[in-house]
Structure 1
Amino acid sequence: MSPLWSGRLETGLDQRVFEFSVLVDRDRRLLPYDLEASIVHVRMLERQGLLGETDARRLREALAEVEFAPDGDEDIHSMIERVLTEHLGELGKRVHAGRSRNDQTAIATRLWARDAASQAARSVAELARALVDRARVDGDLLLPGYTHLQRAQPVPLGHHLAAHATALLRDAGRFAAAREAANVSPLGAGALAGSSLGLDPGYSAAELGMDAAFENSIDAVSDRDFLLDFCYAATVTMVHLSRMAEELVLWTSQEFGFAELSDAVATGSSMMPQKKNPDVAELVRGRAGIAIGRLTGLLSLIKGIPLAYNRDLQDTRPQAYEQFDAVTEAAAVMALAYATLGFDAEAMGAAADDGRTVATDVAEGMVTAGATFRDAHHAVAARVAAGERFEAPSAEQAVAARTAPGMPGAYRAQLDRLTERIEAVLATE
């Protein structure tokens, strides 16, 4: 079958150019979404009197049976029309009435992005739930909180894990916003200036469950901001996962000794028999860097494109596919790592209660007795510099003194609120 645009050009496309430009295999993910939109387009054409009832029914039935079977096709859209024409003859060609590949690819990409954002949000929420579940079991274990990677103040493990879960739920919110941005239909915009056939873009949008139809046909076919939103949400999530991964690398090192990865998520050394390596965490940390690169690449790709559609835009999709795979896979393996992590309560507790992490509490006790905090701070700092280690308050007492909402002593209330938010994300379709 000749390319859909071949009527204008007399000679065939050089095979090297064809192979350079096609994206059929990587766009396989778009097939169910393109078919869904095509079926709605056929219903709209019938509703507007542009297709008869019998022809519309035959087209819808044929579209429902299309499977991925490329045969020298330029793209998924061309493949669908070829298959329809092979099965229905001239009737198959009528599916393209009032439609360009520009709005066709835009709607399929938006439908994919809508689902991808929802799935990514659920993956992140599942990881947050794994952290909360672990916090409910081992949350009372104490460890030092750190600033500048220096021991700062004692905190319960549950408070620390809740901090990661809180950040992840912000990520879920960013994916929800990306889903909303994708949920606008470009069907009816055509190549860039719509159609004179009397289409009903609002009907198509409603049938696809989208919030609205496009406001401007030129913008509709050239807008890929929703992919930027999705890839940005994925990048921030990967950054958060990278921070968690770095922490696992530190905690499972002999220098910290706070935790040990289960055999299910650790690897050994081919040469050193004693080694147990946190490869999963290291891979997540590395892939966060690649995710940052994808986002930067997408921004650079889009920045110089004049209105309206340009072929550059086809390369936005593989970047988004890879970003989706990276964030959902990383979230899943991190959930497994935390669910099976073994904590060393003795090592963590000793570090949390080393006689210095309560120095702030000692100073605040002096404030309660009437001293200014600055004077108390200097006095306690001098005692620490002289080598003193404080026996009171204990790390447990220091935590128990901080019970205002959001503070370490109130972490279980945080877990309850986090659980409500997590379940809300998981319940969203």
Structure 2
Amino acid sequence: MKLWGGRFTKKTNKLVENFNESLSFDHRFYKQDIRGSIAHVTMLAKQNILSSDERDRIIEGLKSIEEDIEKGNLRFDDSSEDIHSFVEAHLIERIGDAGKKLHTGRSRNDQVALDMKLYIRDGIDTFKELLYELLSEVLHIMEDNRSTYMPGFTHLQKAQPTTLAHHFGAYFEMFLRDYDRLVSTRKRMNLSPLGSGAFAGTTYELDRDYVADLLDFDTATRNSMDSVSDRDYLLELLSDLSIISMHLSRLSEEIIIWNTDEYRFVEMDDTYSTGSSIMPQKKNPDIAELIRGKTGRVYGSLISLLTAMKGLPLAYNKDMQEDKEMSFDAIDTVKSLIKLMSGMLSSMKFNHSRMEASAKGGFTNATDAADYLVKKNVAFRDAHEIVGRLVLYGIEHNKALDDFTLEEFKNISEVFDKDIYEAISLKTCVEKRNTKGAPGLEAINKEIEDSKRILESLK
């Protein structure tokens, strides 16, 4: 059934019908379409545009359609152009002429805008739940690894020693910002477009704010033209999902590196690994690699929608139908990425001794050696030069700073004394760093307690 056709004398070309249809992908928001229609006819009856009997028959018919879809008794086919015409056709079939009044006072333009907003709003709520689970897993790792020493890196070169708790604390902050962005996007988009018509409203005396309230929106949109042509909320969501994916990809990259034989910082669980068809010894981090790879796919959805929207005049244009498939794909993809990352982290084993041994190499305590000299009244720039010479000597003689004799220290600077060994020990290098956000035990304990409170507030 078509919702249009009175002014046409020829059948639509079959190729055009196939190209134009959207039921094959927009059927997924049948719940939102039915919910919006129930709110719409409830308002129409309140405004005496429909009778209470017509309202009740329509609502009963809509609920029966939803029930039959969910039970598998009603299947989507190619007889309808989109989910709106599918629902309306089956409603008329079930209740007769009263079903033809369902569309009174609205257009498919404001209807699809409503359905998409309801669907995206539900999707954001799901993402918040998934991110909460991921944040909980990251916090669990932090709690268990407050004193698990490891090297910190800049430029992928060993820089200074830190702890695994401190390292994962950075990801807690990333995923928390992701959560906050979704909250902000949801708040900004929570305005009902229903009642905007094609773009110029309607002559019926609709109560748009009443419908908005029925559907848990904050209020109705202020401009009917913007209401049907706005896709900013989708662009925001796709941006949010792209950033989430980027964070997941960064963590995946580190897991892939840490899983190599050269690092051996982590051991992937068999349930989140795969093997090789030819090399029997292999245990590949394919899930982490796929998370990293699928991030580009999510970016593609954002760029595609930005490109589709960039040249559109007001108000509605059919180009906007392209918003659905790319948004649905990004939503499905990122849901899977977050779930997989949570599962992968919960099953992963960390090699504490290997991490600590690695932290002791690569002169990660060089900065602390320079700080030692500064505390002995050596200017920092001079201290930097002195320790640079120490490192060069260590490289030439294949020795870590901890293994230098006191004589070797003094050959480069007489300022060094036997207390240098405590000053550059791994424990001192980490534990003495207790400024806010640092890896020292006092600072990381505070960070963990704050993170617990934050997480509790998200429930």
* Cα shift at 1:129: 1.2
Residues 138 and 157 of structure 1 are in contact (CA less than 8 Å); yes or no, is this contact kept in structure 2?
yes
After TM superposition, the score normalised by the length of structure 1 is: 0.97
- Listed one character per residue, the Cα deviations across residues 397-425 of structure 1 (whole Å, up to 9, x for unaligned) are 11110112211112222122222223333
In 2, the alpha carbon distance for the partners of 1:316 and 1:252 equals 38
Residues 65 and 90 of structure 2 are in contact (CA less than 8 Å); yes or no, is this contact kept in structure 1?
yes
Q: Secondary structure at 2:102's aligned position in 1? A: helix
Aligned to 1:178: 185
Aligned to 2:375: 368
Q: Secondary structure at 1:65's aligned position in 2? A: helix
Aligned to 1:158: 165
Residues 42 and 95 of structure 1 are in contact (CA less than 8 Å); yes or no, is this contact kept in structure 2?
yes
In 1, the alpha carbon distance for the partners of 2:299 and 2:455 equals 26
In 2, the alpha carbon distance for the partners of 1:324 and 1:412 equals 35
Q: Which amino acid in structure 1 is aligned with residue 76 of structure 2?
A: P
In 2, the alpha carbon distance for the partners of 1:386 and 1:152 equals 18
In 2, the alpha carbon distance for the partners of 1:119 and 1:62 equals 29
**What pairs up with 1:41-80 in 2 under 5 angstroms?**
41-67=40-66, 68=69, 69-71=75-77, 72-80=79-87
State whether structure 2 residue 430 is matched by structure 1 residue 399.
Answer: yes
After TM superposition, the score normalised by the length of structure 2 is: 0.91
In 2, the alpha carbon distance for the partners of 1:318 and 1:424 equals 34
The 10-residue stretch of structure 1 (8-17 or 146-155) with the greater mean CA deviation from structure 2: 8-17
* Cα shift at 1:236: 0.5
Aligned to 1:147: 154
Residues 195 and 206 of structure 2 are in contact (CA less than 8 Å); yes or no, is this contact kept in structure 1?
yes
Q: Secondary structure at 1:155's aligned position in 2? A: strand
Q: Secondary structure at 2:202's aligned position in 1? A: coil
Q: Secondary structure at 2:23's aligned position in 1? A: coil
* Cα shift at 1:61: 1.4
In 1, the alpha carbon distance for the partners of 2:53 and 2:223 equals 33
The 10-residue stretch of structure 1 (91-100 or 351-360) with the greater mean CA deviation from structure 2: 351-360
Q: Which amino acid in structure 2 is aligned with residue 6 of structure 1?
A: G
| Shift in alpha-carbon separation, 1:294–1:355, aligned structure 2, 3 A | closer
Task: Please point out which of 184, 189, 195 is paired with 2:202.
Answer: 195
Task: Please point out which of 295, 302, 319 is paired with 2:326.
Answer: 319
Residues 297 and 330 of structure 2 are in contact (CA less than 8 Å); yes or no, is this contact kept in structure 1?
no
**What pairs up with 1:331-350 in 2 under 5 angstroms?**
331-350=338-357
Aligned to 2:418: none
In 2, the alpha carbon distance for the partners of 1:84 and 1:5 equals 17
State whether structure 2 residue 60 is matched by structure 1 residue 29.
Answer: no
In 2, the alpha carbon distance for the partners of 1:424 and 1:326 equals 27
Residues 193 and 218 of structure 1 are in contact (CA less than 8 Å); yes or no, is this contact kept in structure 2?
yes
Task: Please point out which of 345, 369, 390 is paired with 2:401.
Answer: 390
The 10-residue stretch of structure 1 (3-12 or 66-75) with the greater mean CA deviation from structure 2: 66-75
Q: Secondary structure at 2:65's aligned position in 1? A: coil
Aligned to 2:446: 413
**What pairs up with 1:253-402 in 2 under 5 angstroms?**
253-354=260-361, 356-387=363-394, 389-391=400-402, 392=421, 393-402=424-433
* Cα shift at 1:139: 3.3
State whether structure 2 residue 435 is matched by structure 1 residue 424.
Answer: no
Q: Secondary structure at 1:408's aligned position in 2? A: coil
- Listed one character per residue, the Cα deviations across residues 247-283 of structure 1 (whole Å, up to 9, x for unaligned) are 0110000011111101010111111011010000000
Gaps of 5+ in 1: none
* Cα shift at 1:355: 6.6
Q: Which amino acid in structure 1 is aligned with residue 110 of structure 2?
A: D
Q: Give the % identical residues.
A: 39
Residues 192 and 218 of structure 1 are in contact (CA less than 8 Å); yes or no, is this contact kept in structure 2?
yes
State whether structure 2 residue 145 is matched by structure 1 residue 113.
Answer: no
Q: CA RMSD in A?
A: 1.2
Which fold has the larger relative contact order, with Cα–Cα distance below 8 Å and residues 6 or more apart in sequence?
1
In 2, the alpha carbon distance for the partners of 1:325 and 1:203 equals 32
Residues 124 and 186 of structure 2 are in contact (CA less than 8 Å); yes or no, is this contact kept in structure 1?
yes
| Shift in alpha-carbon separation, 1:424–1:319, aligned structure 2, 3 A | farther
Q: Which amino acid in structure 2 is aligned with residue 370 of structure 1?
A: N
Aligned to 1:96: 103
Q: Which amino acid in structure 2 is aligned with residue 309 of structure 1?
A: Y
In 1, the alpha carbon distance for the partners of 2:241 and 2:316 equals 25
The 10-residue stretch of structure 1 (136-145 or 262-271) with the greater mean CA deviation from structure 2: 136-145
Q: Which amino acid in structure 1 is aligned with residue 26 of structure 2?
A: D
Aligned to 2:89: 82
Aligned to 2:16: 17
Residues 109 and 198 of structure 2 are in contact (CA less than 8 Å); yes or no, is this contact kept in structure 1?
yes
In 2, the alpha carbon distance for the partners of 1:18 and 1:51 equals 33
